[in-house]
Homo-oligomer: A and B are copies of this chain.
Amino acid sequence: MRANSLSPIHGSAAQAPTLALKLNAFTRLSVEDIEALQRLTRSVRSVEPRRDIMREGEQPLHVHLAVKGWGCRYKSLPDGKRQVVGFFLPGDFCDLNAYALKEMDHSIAAITPVKVAVIGREDMESLIDSHPRIAQALRWNDLVDQGTQREWLLNLGQRSAYARIAHLILELFLRLRIVGMTEGHSCDFPLTQNDIADATGLTAVHVNRMLQELRGDGIIELERKRLTIPDLEVLKEAAMFNPNYLHLEHEGRHLDASN
């Protein structure tokens, strides 16, 4: 797993938007690229925890880019059952590309207090047209998202409850690390056991029992919304984790702005 510090952003990383941090995991962006990304986040919408940002059936008019907080995408069944189909963290798009469709086939909700940048589709398109390096990085980002969906299918279909939860936790930790939201072996982890249940296709009761088992086995520490992973390798083993779907090793670096 490539630590983010191995591919620092050109110049001042401190002010770089989180999206830039993430795309930087694919190809090193130029100062001008980063500035262009920064200009995207002029219009920001704040959403309270547990509120919908967009609902199934609505027409998507803009692109939403998560700037702060955790959220999820989910689908529901007529009998009330709910499946989380993805989480988004700072630097993730909530609904990239969705604006090409007439209506949303899923909903988007905040988990913690969330800030999303609301981006007009024209702004998005002109950014892509004028910044080929960003365009390529966004395509890569999109493919990683699709790979993640496939890995989730594998998770739901084939892993045991124990490994399934371990896998989810590990994936989120690694994604947080890419955008600099971890401190050593720890990170904030605001998901409730209910959220984990909805994402893994289990019940909250069973998630609770599996978390206790994971704690008992010394694989994770998780309390008060704070996660610590004593040994990443041990967790990987428990989760049957294969990092290839995150595509952190790739060819995009030939576009490196510093070359």
User: Interface on A for B, CB 8 Å cutoff?
Assistant: 56-57, 73, 75, 77-79, 81-83, 85-86, 97-98, 100-103, 105-106, 136, 139-140, 142-143, 146-147, 149-154, 156-159, 200-201, 240, 244-245, 247, 249-251
Complex interface: chain B residues within 8 A of A77 (CB): 154, 158-159, 240
Q: Which residue of B lies closest to A158 (CB)?
A: B81
Complex interface: chain B residues within 8 A of A98 (CB): 143
Would you call B247 and A85 a contact (CB within 8 A)? no
Would you call A156 and B159 a contact (CB within 8 A)? no
Complex interface: chain B residues within 8 A of A147 (CB): 105-106
Q: How many copies does the complex hold?
A: 2
Would you call A105 and B153 a contact (CB within 8 A)? no
Name A83's contact: one of B56, B101, B157 (CB within 8 Å): B157
Q: Which residue of B lies closest to A99 (CB)?
A: B143
Complex interface: chain B residues within 8 A of A150 (CB): 73, 75, 85-86, 105-106, 149
Name A201's contact: one of B73, B158, B247, B250 (CB within 8 Å): B158
Q: Which residue of B lies closest to A156 (CB)?
A: B156
Would you call A75 and B154 a contact (CB within 8 A)? yes
Name A249's contact: one of B56, B102, B201, B240 (CB within 8 Å): B102
Known: A77-B158, A154-B85, A158-B77. A251 touches B139 (CB 8 A): no
Complex interface: chain B residues within 8 A of A83 (CB): 153-154, 157-158
Name A102's contact: one of B157, B201, B240, B250 (CB within 8 Å): B250
Cα-based distance from A153 to B247 in the complex (angstroms):
21
Complex interface: chain B residues within 8 A of A103 (CB): 244, 247
Cα-based distance from A82 to B83 in the complex (angstroms):
22
